[in-house]
């Protein structure tokens, strides 16, 4: 992966300062009821109930004096009324309060006048229970004054928020225009919000992060992330939300360019609730992040082609002698002068049509390559990982006491992650240990053979080491399936029946006998049979197959036929 230039140019615009070091709450939505009560026209209003709802947001104000006010109520509204429409409410005043709260009303302000002497205690109690601010207005106040002053306050607030939002957008955009990448972008965004921020791929691989290191580490240990460090995007919808088993709040916004889903930008807050204003900043940052991602993809595409062409030459034996290979790999940041295993990972064919959504993901092979690069380079930055048209090839180092399968198994586990995010299953093959770069072509062929045979032996998602293939390596090279089927039928006779439970049971008995080298006592123990029962079964098998207990050539044929059934999935 190429490193983009990320030194900020002198004089780059600073993000506008915010009170308390973060974006102010409700900057975009409007006035809170608490702030609205501070305007001159509401200075004499008395709060009767609903103190818990003073942080509700007012986006509009309305005057309503018709008998049935409910059909005209809108969310986030400060409703001004008199006692006239309240005097004959069919559902009763407590029921009216519940209906108004359900419709998202911000607050209800009442001038009693001559139609209603006082608001009933039941109504006040219900408003207090629901946290719906209920204001009693003095007779002298004019509705038009309240309306004008509230709307002026809302418009001024929104205008200031939009201006500030543009300043934020300009400052974040300058990060990319001046050569910065995702790391600089999330660092700036974190400084605005005062909380940790991450950018991930569409399936949750963390690409960049900004904010307090300890906070970032603590969030990685929450159920929002799986054990591989992947943000579990399949369980994280867009917007602000929290989980019962996760402290604090987090906000998620998609990074989209055109119709392509490039990933997520996520903000985490442990000690305060995130709101619409935080989401607005993340949306601005996501727009800029899409530019940074596209820029990085363009650079990476060129570098990946150059690296891929060279590694393809190495694996085909056309890259020159050992010294040239090692020196050129060194210039690419790879260390191939050590003990390695060649790993080939190949996506399994899809069983059916892929599920479609409104957004397109980057090509699946590209995302598969990025996942492998992310996992391997986190383990060893000098390990080579390249994506070809149909496979990913990685040259993984092994230690002084090599356990290649454990090394690869750990990498596969991390690439697979939690199994979520819409990723496809894949099969993996591992070569023998390669102790010299000149032997990499041999290792590559071994790993490719392990992928093919492993998938035939174990199905989708297999992990196979070349040394574990044994005779399967030879059988896999026979492409004529009918020839193999004919060999199975001629060797196993009736025992080759695929849909007969009794024949399947006898095949298992035969396999155990062959695996134990015809040790009847040990085979009986493994099969949980009485010794005489197994002797009876051996006689039955010999009547069907021939004298395999005394004919070593027949035993070899039978063992190969059973392996064909296992490898080709014919049984």
- What is the tens place of the pLDDT at every residue in 145-165? 888 988 888 888 777 777 767
pLDDT in tens, 204-231: 888 889 999 988 988 888 888 888 788 8
Q: Tell me the pairing of strands 107-111 and 134-136.
A: parallel
The mean per-residue pLDDT over the stretch 352-359 comes to: 50
Which of the listed ranges 323-332, 350-359, 407-416, 551-560 does the model predict with the highest average pLDDT? Answer: 323-332
Which of 464, 404, 470, 463 minimizes the C-alpha distance to 433? Answer: 404
pTM passes above 0.75: no
**Weakest mean pLDDT among 308-317, 397-406, 451-460:** 397-406
CB atoms within 10 A of CB 356: 7
Which of 70, 59, 116 minimizes the C-alpha distance to 97? Answer: 70
With 0-12 / 13-18 / 19 or more C-beta atoms within 10 angstroms meaning exposed / middle / buried, residue 223 is exposed
Measured in Å, how far apart are the chain's first and last C-alpha atoms?
45
Q: Answer for the pair 255, 199: CB distance below 8 angstroms, yes or no.
A: yes
Rounded CA-CA distance 66/299 in Å is 65
Helices (H) and strands (E) in the chain, counts: 17, 18
* pLDDT bucket at 567, cuts 50 / 70 / 90: low
pLDDT exceeds cutoff 60 at 534 = yes
Rounded CA-CA distance 112/320 in Å is 95
pLDDT in tens, 303-318: 777 788 888 888 988 8
Q: Answer for the pair 151, 61: CB distance below 8 angstroms, yes or no.
A: yes
* Token code pair at residue 432: 């023998």
The pLDDT, as a whole number, for residue 284 is: 85
* pLDDT bucket at 444, cuts 50 / 70 / 90: very high
Domains of the chain: 31-153 (3.40.1390.20), 179-297 (3.30.450.40), 317-350+362-474 (3.30.70.270), 479-566 (1.10.10.2840)
The pLDDT, as a whole number, for residue 94 is: 85
Structural element, H or E, at residue 396: strand 392-397
Q: Residues for the chain: how many in total?
A: 571
pLDDT in tens, 33-92: 888 898 898 888 999 999 999 988 888 888 887 777 788 888 989 999 887 777 766 557
Ramachandran bin of 253, using left for φ above 0, alpha for ψ from -120 to 50, beta for the remaining angles: beta
- Residue 228 phi, psi (nearest 5): -85, 0
Ramachandran bin of 536, using left for φ above 0, alpha for ψ from -120 to 50, beta for the remaining angles: alpha
The pLDDT, as a whole number, for residue 350 is: 72
Rounded CA-CA distance 559/543 in Å is 17
């Amino acid at each position: 992966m190429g490193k983009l230039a990320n030194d900020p140019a002198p004089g780059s615009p600073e993000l506008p300062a915010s009170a308390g070091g973060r974006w102010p709450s409700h900057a975009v939505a409007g006035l809170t009821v608490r702030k609205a009560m501070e305007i001159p026209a509401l200075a004499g209003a008395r709060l009767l109930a609903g103190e818990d709802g003073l942080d509700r947001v007012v986006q509009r104000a309305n005057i309503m004096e018709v008998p049935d006010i409910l059909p005209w109520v809108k969310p986030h509204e400060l409703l001004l009324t008199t006692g006239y429409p309240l005097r004959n409410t069919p559902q009763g005043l407590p029921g009216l309060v519940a209906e108004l709260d359900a419709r998202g009303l911000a607050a209800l302000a009442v001038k009693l006048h001559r139609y209603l002497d006082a608001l009933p205690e039941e109504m006040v109690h219900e408003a207090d229970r629901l946290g719906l601010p209920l204001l009693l207005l003095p007779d002298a106040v004019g509705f038009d004054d309240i309306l004008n002053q509230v709307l002026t306050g809302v418009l001024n607030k929104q205008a200031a928020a939009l201006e500030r939002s543009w300043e934020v957008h300009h400052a974040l955009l300058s990060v990319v225009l001046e050569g910065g990448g995702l790391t600089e972008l999330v660092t700036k965004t974190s400084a605005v919000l005062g909380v940790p921020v991450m950018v991930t791929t569409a399936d949750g691989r963390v690409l960049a992060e900004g904010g307090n290191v300890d906070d970032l580490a603590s969030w990685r240990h929450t159920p929002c992330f799986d054990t591989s460090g992947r943000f579990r995007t399949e369980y994280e919808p867009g917007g602000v939300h929290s989980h019962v088993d996760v402290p604090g709040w987090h906000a998620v916004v998609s990074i989209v360019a055109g119709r392509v889903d490039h990933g997520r930008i996520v903000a985490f807050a442990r000690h305060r609730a995130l709101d619409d204003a935080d989401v607005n900043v993340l949306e601005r940052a996501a727009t800029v992040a899409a530019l940074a991602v596209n820029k990085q993809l363009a650079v990476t595409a060129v570098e990946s082609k150059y690296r891929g062409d060279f590694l393809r030459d190495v694996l085909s034996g056309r890259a020159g002698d050992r010294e040239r290979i090692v020196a050129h790999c060194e210039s690419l940041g790879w260390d191939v002068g050590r003990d390695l295993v060649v790993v080939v990972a190949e996506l399994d064919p899809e069983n059916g049509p892929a599920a479609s959504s409104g957004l397109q993901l980057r090509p699946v092979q590209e995302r598969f390559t990025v996942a492998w690069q992310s996992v391997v380079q986190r383990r060893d930055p000098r390990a080579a990982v390249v994506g070809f048209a149909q496979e990913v090839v990685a040259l993984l180092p092994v230690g002084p006491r090599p356990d290649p399968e454990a090394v690869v198994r750990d990498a596969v586990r991390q690439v697979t992650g939690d199994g979520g995010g819409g990723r496809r299953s894949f099969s993996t093959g591992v070569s023998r240990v390669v102790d010299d770069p000149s032997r990499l072509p041999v290792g590559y062929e071994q790993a490719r053979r392990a992928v093919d045979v492993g998938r035939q032996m174990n199905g989708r998602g297999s992990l196979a080491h070349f040394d574990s293939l044994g005779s399967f390596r030879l059988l896999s090279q026979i492409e004529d399936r009918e020839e193999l089927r004919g060999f199975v039928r001629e060797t196993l006779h009736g025992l080759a029946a695929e849909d007969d439970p009794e024949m399947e049971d006898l095949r298992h008995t035969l396999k155990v006998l062959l695996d134990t080298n015809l040790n009847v006592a040990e085979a009986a123990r493994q099969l949980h049979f009485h010794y005489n029962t197994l002797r009876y079964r051996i006689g039955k098998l010999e009547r069907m197959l021939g004298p395999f207990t005394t004919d070593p050539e027949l035993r070899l044929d039978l063992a190969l036929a059973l392996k064909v059934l296992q490898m080709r999935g014919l049984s």
